[in-house]
A and B are shown apart, each in its own frame.
Chain A
Amino acid sequence: MEDLFKLQQEADEQRIAEYNAALKIQAWFRGNRIRKYMRFLHDTAAKIQSTFRMFTTRKRYYVKVKEALVQRKEAEAHKAAAKIQKIWRGYYTRKYIHNYYARRNYLLAVEERNIEIREQLARFAQNQKEIKEREERMKFEEEKILLARKHHYMMSTYQQNGVFASPWFPNTGFEDLISQVPPLSKEERKNLMKPVKSEGLEKNSPRELPPLKNVIQPKQQGPFRDPTICCVLAYNPTITPVIMLPVITHQYT
């Protein structure tokens, strides 16, 4: 009996074990089959989605490619324009706005011109000075000659040394000058001594009163010299009265 029970127990355990094994196998198989089916479904869905996405994305892609092309072309155009402008601006500025070489040449030309002008002005100034000096010298010479002519009467004679040829004073050459130049003639001396005729309006010689015109003078009684002669003598004593004799009409009562 215990063997039967044991055998039945064993058979029961075996049955249960076989049952579980069969269950596991069936579960596994079913699971596999469903998984495969699920996988199949997922793959199909994925394929559909992927085709659809490829289609839409390609559309959008082409739009983007076109835009990108346009932009690249634009960017190239901008760069080209910038390069042209850069070259042009450089050229224009260098030539017209700030021409370095023209400016340098101008400054060099200014320097040269300055040197020229300075030379010219220096020569001009020198010329003027020389002319002035020459004129002064000539005036001086002329004055000396006039003096020699005036002092003709001081020339030394055979008997008597003149003042300018005194043996006690060094020889200044004035004596020789006197003997060389002609003496003043009578008219020249009169012209020299004649008072300068002015109209008496702007230039005034205060020491000389202008001569009285249109005046009838009675002759003074007594041994008096003529008043006009006295006036002249008072101011210019080197004249001898022989030379200056104005004509005056006297009215006698």
Chain B
Amino acid sequence: MSQRQVLLVFEQYQKARTEFVQTVAELSTRPQNIETLQATGVMQLLRPLLLDVVPTVQQTAALALGRLANYNDDLAEAVVKSDILPQLVYSLAEQNRFYKKAAAFVLRAVAKHSPQLAQTVVDCGALDALVICLEEFDPGVKEAAAWALGYIARHNDELAQAVVDAGAVPLLVLCIQEPELSLKRIAASALSDICKHSPELAQTVVDAGAIAHLAQMILNPDSKLKRQVLSAFAQISKHSVELAELVVEAEIFPAVLTCLKDSHEVVIKNTATLIREIAKHTPELCQLIMNAGGVAAVVDYIGDTKGNVRLPGIMMLGYVAAHSETLAMAVIVSKGVNQLAIILSDEQEDHIKAATVWALGQIGRHTPEHAKAIAVSNVLPKLLQSYISPDSSEDLQTKSKKALKNILQKCVYLPALEPLLQEAPPNILKHVVAQYSKVLPNDPSARRMFVTSGGLKKIQEIRAEPGSALQEHIQEINKCFPEEIVRYYSPGYSEALLQRVEGFKPSTEMQTS
């Protein structure tokens, strides 16, 4: 009987431990409980339970610790300070798969908050253990390990390099080929986090053969997976021309354009970022995108979406147009200018407007044809508005001014210049007047329009310092017209006429026959 009683005591203790650990694990899912738990010093209590005899208790204790550390970085610091990490890392090598999953969860929860915490995780030798976990059979373990590695590599260059040095990259590439969807997602996200820091890291990932496998996954219907894959491609191709060419050689165009029609905004945004990073580098890559119909797809997408999602698309159009004038003309042909004009009137955010304005400047600065295409879509007054308006940010104002200047220096389409003549400040006005002084000497019908539309009147009213370029242009324009007309429109002429009327003595003699 006494034996039974002794056993009963131990059973009760075991039951108590299990209950405690399971309740703590459940409570730590709710944020409002966590402060209370922290106040009661739950960390110290959970630590010895990690070494418990019963495996369920160990696993649930690890799970509870992971959830606590996940919540905020004070708790993660507490986990680190309580010296739990070396124990976890040691047991990562030994225990069964549930424990490995829980331990990897704790490591990930600690590493996600800041680079210093991630560095402590790395210093405990977690990387080797995690990489060993990546070779396991169970996909859940692989997923947890890949997630932890991804969070470690996310913070900065050295940590990503440490992850790569531990030999994680080939294993992650193997993980991508696994059939489980969640594992693919996490592995793709981890590769994307590694690639984003530097060209060498991206090159390492590419050398492991990641591009071919990632390219196959672009057509997968799952949106979260597509999002990670596209982000990985964008991070790889942003560093250098060779990497971008490698990405393009994987034949992602035109399949990747279908991702622009996805239902999730993040997928669309990542696709646009990818196309933008590729288009940044050389005109040949832009031409490739153009030939695949990418520009039309991007123009449609920026028309369909709103807000920050369309920013990469706008920048992409700017980069394409900046390379050469044929590409800029092709952007115009793809109805890019109309779309950008619509965006300029619709959007409220200043940074998106600034990007639109910059893109328009890049399109219009090449030749008079381009400038005419921009002027015809009635964009110049809007550019002027964004330059003058006091609510525009500094950035928007500088960009509008530059874009206006670039476009005006090539614009010879006079009907579009007239509204600017009325409203522009002096530094823009001098460009407008310069353009008039180029066109008017040669074109008589334009001269007539100029007079009838009140442009000549406005020119006379401009006060310019003698000797400045503005004055020279005004004089050139005045030379195109007869003397009387110029005098007629000069300010104060009506005054002068009335004075003459006052001074005139009518002849009082009546002519008698």
Contacts and interface: CB of A to CB of B under 8 A. Distances in A.
Chain A interface, >50% SS class: helix
B161 interface: no
A75 B60 CA distance: 101
Given A121-B297, A128-B263, A110 B334 contact: yes
A125 interface: yes
A20 B23 CA distance: 174
10 contacts: A103-B326, A106-B330, A110-B295, A118-B297, A120-B254, A121-B258, A124-B258, A201-B59, A204-B25, A215-B14
A111 B333 contact: yes
Contacts of B19: 212
Contacts of A115: 296
B260 A201 contact: no
A117 B15 CA distance: 65
A159 interface: no
A84 interface: no
Nearest to B330: A110
A216 interface: yes
B82 interface: no
A217 to B, nearest CB: 8
Q: How large is the interface on A (under 10, 10 to 19, 20 to 34, 35 or more residues)?
A: 20 to 34
A105 to B, nearest CB: 12
Contacts of B263: 128, 132
B15 A212 contact: yes
A209 B334 contact: no
Contact of A114 (B1, B8, B98, B296): B296
B333 A209 contact: no
Contacts of A214: 14, 54, 56
Interface string B5-26: 0001001001100110011011
A106 B326 contact: yes
Interface string A156-187: 00000000000000000000000000000000
B60 A114 contact: no
Given A121-B261, A124-B261, A206-B26, 13 more contacts: A103-B326, A106-B330, A107-B329, A110-B333, A111-B334, A117-B254, A117-B257, A118-B296, A121-B258, A199-B101, A200-B63, A210-B22, A213-B56
A216 B11 contact: yes
B98 A199 contact: yes
B340 interface: no
Contact of B257 (A107, A121, A253): A121
A117 B59 CA distance: 53
Given A117-B254, A117-B297, A121-B297, A215 B18 contact: yes
B261 A113 contact: no
B135 interface: no
Contacts of A204: 25-26, 29
A13 B370 CA distance: 118
Contact of A116 (B293, B326, B329): B293
Nearest to B23: A209
Interface in B254-270: 254, 257-258, 260-263
B105 interface: yes
Contacts of B333: 107, 110-111, 114
A106, A110, A116: most-surrounded residue (chain B CB, <10 A)? A110
Interface of B: 1, 4, 8, 11, 14-15, 18-19, 22-23, 25-26, 29-30, 54, 56, 59-60, 63, 98, 101-102, 105, 140, 254, 257-258, 260-263, 290-293, 295-297, 300, 326, 329-330, 333-334
Contacts of A213: 56
Contacts of B291: 110, 113
Contacts of B326: 103, 106-107
A206 B258 contact: no
Contact of A201 (B102, B292, B330, B334): B102
B297 to A, nearest CB: 6
A212 B20 CA distance: 12
A120 B334 CA distance: 16
A114 B334 contact: yes
B15, B261, B263, B326: most-surrounded residue (chain A CB, <10 A)? B261
B413 to A, nearest CB: 20
Nearest to B327: A110
B293 A113 contact: yes
A114 B29 contact: no
Contact of A121 (B30, B98, B300): B300
Contacts of B140: 199, 201
Nearest to A111: B333
A210 B22 CA distance: 8
Contacts of A121: 257-258, 260-261, 297, 300
A110 B326 CA distance: 11
Given A107-B329, A111-B333, A253-B4, A128 B63 contact: no
Query: Which 5 interchain pairs have the tightest Cβ spacing?
Result: A117-B293, A114-B296, A125-B261, A113-B293, A110-B330
Nearest to A118: B296
A212 B292 CA distance: 61
A201 B102 CA distance: 7
B151 to A, nearest CB: 15
A114 B262 CA distance: 19
Contacts of A216: 8, 11
A117 B8 CA distance: 75
A213 B257 CA distance: 53
Nearest to A210: B22
Nearest to A199: B98
Contacts of B102: 201
A213 B8 CA distance: 15
Contacts of B295: 110, 114
